[in-house]
Amino acid sequence: MQQPANSNRMTRRQILGLAGGAAAAVLLAACQSAQQAATAQQSKPAAPSSPASASAGSATGVASGPATSGAPAPASAAPKPGGTLKFGIVGDFTTLDGHVIIPNLEDTVWQVWDRLTAKDPQNKPQPMLAESFDQSADGKQLTLKLRKGVTFHTGRELTSDDVKWNLTRSKDPKVGFGILASLGASMKSFDTPDKYTVVLNSDTPWPAVYDFLEFLNILDPETMQGPDAKTKAVGTGPFVWTEYAPGDHVRLTKNKNYWRSGAPLLDEINVAIQRDPQAMITQLQAGALDIADSPQLSDVVTLQKDPKFQVVINPYTGGWNVLALNATAPPTNNKQVRQALNYALDRQRIAQTVFKGVMKPEDLPWPPISAAYEAPKVNAYPFDLDKAKSLIASSGVPNVAIDINTGTTGSGADIAQIYQEDLAKIGVKATIKPADPVTFQTGLANHSLNGVIVIVGFTAQLHPATVMLGPYYSPFFNYSGYKDDAYTALVNQATTETDPTKAKALYSKWNDYVLDQSWILVECNNAQIVAAQPKVKGIAWNMHEGLDLSGTGVNA
């Protein structure tokens, strides 16, 4: 569900944004239109034929993807097999559906499922349940060969029919807020020619197909269609759903028949459901927890100074804090006004005060690992009130007044207050308007929130097409309502070009364009964080930004 900005990663339930009903349908149609408009070709990627190595992140924040070759931890910090990990989260699960993408589920229960492929930190797809895969030269067809002998936790062998069921379900916009339907909008059909082969078909080149597969857990169809669908999670993953006491705990145990040799290391994961962030940190400090998931930033700063604990930040994060400007109504339909608002945004102050110096200011969504990242453009709009005032004066818009729309919880109010103070210095009257989730969601969908909207972006660590065709920057539908034929043509080129050199040039043009038009004002990044006891080794994230605990160990 799309929600206003928060000070931590709980806002990732926004992934690919417009949740539920008509809003999801709008975004789905937008993604479909974008793909239908594309005409370029995609080249054939390499298809690894052997399973990738287990991940092993270090206590200093090095992380790697699931079943990928990430940076290994030093030998002295290598995680050991065996033991139980005591894992703390805030709040109970609202669902056990593995096709729903929400943070506490993604960091815990997702250990039960595998995916067909998994991206590595270089954004290259690696084998997972598909031991090999091959994409056609025109980028319109992807053939996946499943591993033989992989079994669900029930003992039944995984076959192409199971994948077919999951693919069919993913197309339903009512499933998981329509997020998978949006990511997979280019998939026009799929075939299962034999027991171990799956073929995905698209009418146009599909550069971001592996981003879709990055989020597609393969669930057990028999469980999902049976009486235990809402009380059990069954997959082929490294851990088995064993026990659940709602509101109290979840127990996951080692899958002794896991297809990947040497994984997982842990015997058990005991997830303790906490009532609030303060209670979780108290439990961590008392030694009752080994890991505290997504602590508050104030606690992060405190624990970073305490040698008795480690704070690990995902180095491959693709989250970003952002202001969306309504480009359909005055005064923010004026480009010079939008540029003025960009210069009036004190990113450094917001990063230091609201986000406690943990996040870094930036003007574009891309992390350094992205092919679209350009270091010289990270600070394209320095904080400059004189420049902002000059642009307002030359815009031709008298008595500029805007709303700053925020949610009723999280960091949005703090960001709004800082921004309001600085805008007053250039003669812009800003009114802060908190909104309940329903009003906020509706306003995003129909562009009825005037002025500025405080929200959070995501997935910039994946293929640039996923952001360019997402709800912030899509030329067909975006939260700002911005439209331009030249921009549409640029996005179609940038999201389908297969030659790396040409693609890089198009990404640079895209960066220049969105900086100039300024309908989205990126503030700073939004990283995933855990706090842990020093004995916890091998903390790592997948490239979809969920924790991967298959290579984690507890070294007593």
Is residue 300 in a domain?
Answer: no
Query: What is the average pLDDT across 327-340?
Result: 98
Query: What is the average pLDDT across 461-473?
Result: 94
Domain span holding position 439: 9-37+318-525
pLDDT at residue 67, as a whole number: 36
pLDDT tens profile 273-315: 999 999 999 999 999 999 999 999 999 999 999 999 999 999 9
Is residue 193 in a domain?
Answer: no
Is residue 423 in a domain?
Answer: yes
Task: Count up the domains in the chain and report the number.
Answer: 1
**Mean pLDDT, the chain, whole residue set:** 87
Tokens of 123: 């954004």
Kindly report the pTM of this predicted structure: 0.85
* β 268-274/249-254 pair status: antiparallel
Residues 6+ apart with CB under 8 A from 449: 326, 403, 405, 435, 440, 443
Burial string for 509-529 (b: 16+ CB within 10 Å, else e) reads: ebbebbbebbbbbbbbbbbbb
**DSSP output for 221-262:** HHHHTSTTTTT----SSSEEEEEEETTTEEEEEE-TT-SSTT
pLDDT at residue 252, as a whole number: 98
* β 520-525/320-325 pair status: antiparallel
Is residue 336 in a domain?
Answer: yes
Is residue 98 in a domain?
Answer: no
Give the whole-angstrom CA distance, residue 28 versus residue 158: 29
pLDDT tens profile 149-206: 999 999 999 999 999 999 999 999 999 989 899 899 999 999 999 999 999 999 988 9
Give the whole-angstrom CA distance, residue 368 versus residue 374: 8
Residues 6+ apart with CB under 8 A from 88: 271, 272, 274, 280, 283, 284, 289, 291, 292, 293
Nearest by Cα to 237 from 210, 261, 218? 218
CA atoms within a 13 Å half-sphere pointing along the CA-CB vector of 400? 28
Report the percent of the chain where pLDDT is more than 90.
78
Is residue 357 in a domain?
Answer: yes
Task: Report the 10 Å Cβ neighbour count for 143.
Answer: 18
* β 84-90/268-274 pair status: parallel
pLDDT at residue 177, as a whole number: 85
Query: What is the average pLDDT across 414-428?
Result: 97
- Do 515 and 45 touch, CB atoms closer than 8 A? no
pLDDT at residue 410, as a whole number: 74
**DSSP output for 255-298:** -TT-SSTT----SEEEEEEESSHHHHHHHHHTTS-SEEES--HH
- Do 537 and 76 touch, CB atoms closer than 8 A? no
Tokens of 93: 């699960």
Is residue 344 in a domain?
Answer: yes
CATH number of 492's domain: 3.10.105.10
Say whether the peptide bond before residue 475 is cis (omega within 30 degrees of 0): no
Tokens of 434: 């908190």
* β 547-548/239-245 pair status: unpaired
Residues 6+ apart with CB under 8 A from 447: 326, 328, 329, 479, 480, 481
Higher per-residue confidence, 90 vs 2: 90
pLDDT at 63 over 70: no
Measuring CA to CA, how many Å separate 345 from each of 355, 377, 407, 430?
15, 16, 19, 13
Helix residue ranges per DSSP H, 264-411: 277-285, 297-304, 335-343, 347-349, 385-394
Query: How deeply is 245 buried, as exposed, middle or buried, from its count of CB atoms within 10 A (0-12, 13-18, 19+)?
Result: exposed
Is residue 410 in a domain?
Answer: yes
- Do 470 and 459 touch, CB atoms closer than 8 A? yes
Instruction: Output Rg (C-alpha) for the chain, integer angstroms.
Output: 23
Higher per-residue confidence, 431 vs 26: 431
pLDDT at residue 395, as a whole number: 97
